[in-house]
Structure 1
Amino acid sequence: MAAVTTNIEWLNRAYSAKGLSDLRTLYDEWASSYNTDLSRSDQDYVAPTLAAATVARYLESTPLNSVKILDAGCGTGLVGASLAKLGATDIDGVDLSPGMLDVARKTKAYKDLDPVDLSKPLTKDNDAYDVVTCIGTLTHAHVGPGVLSEFVRVTKKDGWIVATVLDDIWESVGYREVIEKLVEDKKVELVSADSGDYRRGAGVSARMVVLKVIA
């Protein structure tokens, strides 16, 4: 029971963070046990595996080892590791927490890992990536929907953005509105925003947003 209480405490702190410094400190402290905490049956954090499978599905006949991927908010590297298992070999990761990046580095899935504040413009070139993933970061008290425009900017035409957005903030925080504007401006095609498992053991669901960049 104590372990469950501890894990809920981490999540509660993450969802009520009071700014970047608070978030960075939290994730630096949590990094060493993050994977273990979220893999327990009462959490069952399946989003990274599902996201990697989603990328592979929409790329269809394009081999994953031929595409360049940015894993934004990569954390401990769960998404990158899942993508690497499916054949991806050219993955960059960015995250706010140096402690999380230290854990991600041990996966050997990433070519480059950098500490980055996603609330600011990315220091990446236009059209730099075939795919951008952002799993577990578009959540309470983290990065707002404005970052989606940056993801579009760094993604090549006909490239893909795959991101999770928690169901309970999909409309209230403005993610749906921002995506609809990107569609209206003919920058992306909204391929899917279906709700599904996120932290399955805890009964938490999220939208798996799939955008195809068209401009």
Structure 2
Amino acid sequence: MASNLFTSDRLTVEDKSTRLYKWMTDRPDSSSTELLQEVYDEQASYYDELLCDKMGWYGWKEGSEFFNGQLEKFGFSKGIRILDAGAGTGLVGKRLSELGYTNITALDISHKMLIQCKEEGCYKEFHQCDLNIDSLDAYNKAFDAVIAIGIFSKALVLPQGMKTLHNCVKKGGLVCISSRSKHFENFGHKAMTEEMVAKGFWKNIGRQDTDNYFTGQISGHYLTFQVQ
């Protein structure tokens, strides 16, 4: 259970950082809804310190700014309706709010993470779901753009989650995703983006690569697709 991995009173934040990194890297496939909820509910109160300060991940900032650049390039206003998929504690939403965006919905698998999002004061709506099993029919073509930073990996959201997010966006809208290079290329996520391009679901309109996506100079990608 996740509690055995992360909640021992004897573990320092550094210990939890090491265990979380190994858990995210080594899990053979996507985890169950219950396990993912437990992991992220338990970490909600110290997640920012764990992920940013101890693990050195600032993809939320780089990804938000890349997304903003893409939106500005294609003439979207600051009042568009945005879905922050895998919102976590609200780091992406907070940065987008600082950049002027005013209509953001937070989506996450963890109830306690969404409580943290509410405290940031930058979201209008909140939705708890597992993108691996929830079709989000209520949000069909409801958003002008989606941002999904750091959720597509073998331990978190499977490749078909991209189709779910695609279905939430109006024609001409944007979907921005990020992933570690290893996970993107080796666990079906890259193949899914290419399949969706080939079938006319969306077209790839932007890409930014980084050699320091995560601690240890791990490479990663930020990608933007326009819904067709």
TM-score, normalization by structure 1 = 0.90
Structure 1 position 32 matched with structure 2 position 6: no
- Counterparts of 1:170 and 1:180 in 2: how far apart (Å)? 12
Superposed CA offset, 1:88-122 (max 9, x none): 11000111111111111111111011211111211
Aligned partners of 1:52 and 1:79 also within 8 Å: yes
Cα separation, 2, equivalents of 1:145 and 1:177: 8
Distance 1:18 1:188, change over 3 A: closer
Within 2, Cα distance between the matches of 1:150 and 1:139?
16
Equivalent position of 1:186 in the other structure: 200
Structure 2 residue aligned with 1:98: 111
Q: Gapped runs of 5+ residues in structure 2? A: 1-10
Distance 1:64 1:104, change over 3 A: farther
- Which of 98, 111, 121 is equivalent to 1:85? 98
Aligned residue-pair number: 212
Structure 1 residues without counterparts, runs of 5 or longer = none
The answer for the alignment partner of 2:175 in structure 1 is 161
CA distance in 1, matches of 2:138, 2:63: 22
* Structure 2 match to 1:74: 87
Q: Are 1:54 and 2:69 an aligned pair?
A: no
TM-score by length of 2: 0.86
Match of 2:8 in 1: none
Work out whether residues 69 and 91 of structure 1, in 8 Å CA contact, stay in contact via their aligned partners in 2. Answer: yes
Partner SS for 1:92: strand
Match of 1:171 among 171, 185, 188: 185
SS of match in other structure, 1:141: coil
Query: CA offsets, 1:3-53, max 9 Å, x none?
Result: 32221112333443742211110111111110012221x533211111111
Q: Residue 10 of structure 1: which of 20, 33, 50 is its match?
A: 20
Specify the code of the residue in structure 2 equivalent to 1:205: S
C-alpha displacement of 1:165: 1.7
Q: CA RMSD in A?
A: 1.9
Moved more, 161-170 or 60-69: 60-69
Per-residue deviation, residues 106-148 of structure 1 (Å, max 9, x unmatched) = 1111101121111121133322111101112112311111011
Give 3-state SS (helix, strand or coil) of 1:30's partner. Answer: helix
Verify the 8 A CA contact 1:63 1:87 in the aligned structure 2: no
2:52 and 2:119 mapped to 1: Cα distance?
Answer: 18
**1 CA distance for matches of 2:196 and 2:180?**
19
- The share of aligned pairs that are identical, in percent, is 25
Range with greater deviation from structure 2 (12-21 or 45-54)? 12-21
Pair 1:117 & 2:127 matched:
no
**Using the alignment, how far apart are the partners of 1:191 and 1:82 within structure 2?**
22
Task: Provide the residue aligned with 2:56 in structure 1.
Answer: 44
Instruction: Note if contact 2:114-2:126 (Cα within 8 Å) is conserved in structure 1.
Output: yes
Which digits, 9 at most, give the CA deviation of each residue in 1:169-205, with x for residues without a partner? 2222111111111111122111234431322x43233
